[in-house]
Amino acid sequence: MRRILHSVKRLARIMRRWMLCWPAKQYKSNREGGERMIPKTKVSVVIPFYNCPYVDLAVKSVLAQSYPDIELIVVDDGSTRYMEKLEAYKDNIVYIRKTNGGTASALNMGIKAASGAYFAWLSADDLFHPDKIKRQMEAIRSSGTSFSHTAYYYINELGERFSGVISMPFHNRGDLIETMMSGCPVNGSSVLLDMEIFNKVGRFNEKFLYTQDYDLWLRILPHYEWSYIEEPLLDYRVHKEMGSVIHSEAQNREIALVQSRHQGILTQLLRKERGK
């Protein structure tokens, strides 16, 4: 009897751990015309790659995730350098090469090729922490939200952290909307979202070379609730070759364009949220 009881308790512990990796359910018809539940577990991580010397480190950080059901897609956006850094990982990734078209076009190609129910983006110079995907899938499942983002650290060219936790929690949805109208606190590499969102609002706008993420978040915001993890689960690399440094003036012009494009809708959304 004691052995049986011990076995039952052990099985229960295993089932609890397994259920943490079963964040949501979708329904499909079976042959008898009824419905059966199947788990939505797979996460497709897309790394857009263009001449980045850190791309192998980004790939390693995804392959080292504690979450078991991950598909890694690397989209080479017409690189002329550092492609050899991916050779050792070709058996463990989906590798797609395309002509150069910018980050948004690379992300969209990765999304089109993805087979996962969830999408995560990792810039080729950034790093996921080992439990990043697992923690976000748990958060989405427990909160019932479709969009998750996290806190992070700054790292330098050597991978050394030189900041405290970069975190911006929001006390309510109104505060989030108001902040998003004036700037973008959401780090793209920290985001995980349900693929169904793209069917609702579309994919990244390829006309935006530097603010394709900001534009997409503002399109998502009116339709979906977000969850935020204050725990840092990403290392965001700051270096002299990063696009936001080289193209800062063009980026600022795009930010103003994106904000003006969404100003009306977000103003109405904020008024509704504030009860005005």
* pTM for the full predicted model: 0.85
- For residue 202, what are its two tokens? 């579309």
Give the Cα separation of 148 and 220 in Å (integer).
Answer: 12
Asked if residues 52 and 83 have their Cβ atoms less than 8 Å apart, the reply is no
Give the Cα separation of 48 and 243 in Å (integer).
Answer: 13
How high is the pLDDT of residue 25?
Answer: 37
For residues 115-125, average pLDDT = 97
Asked if residues 204 and 104 have their Cβ atoms less than 8 Å apart, the reply is yes
Nearest to 190 by CA among 153, 240, 239: 153
Written in H, E and C, the secondary structure of 53-82 is: CCHHHHHHHHHCCCCCCEEEEEEEECCCCC
How high is the pLDDT of residue 241?
Answer: 74
Q: What is the pLDDT of residues 122-176, one digit of tens each?
A: 999 999 999 999 999 999 999 999 999 999 999 999 999 999 999 999 989 999 9
Asked if residues 21 and 82 have their Cβ atoms less than 8 Å apart, the reply is no
How high is the pLDDT of residue 171?
Answer: 86
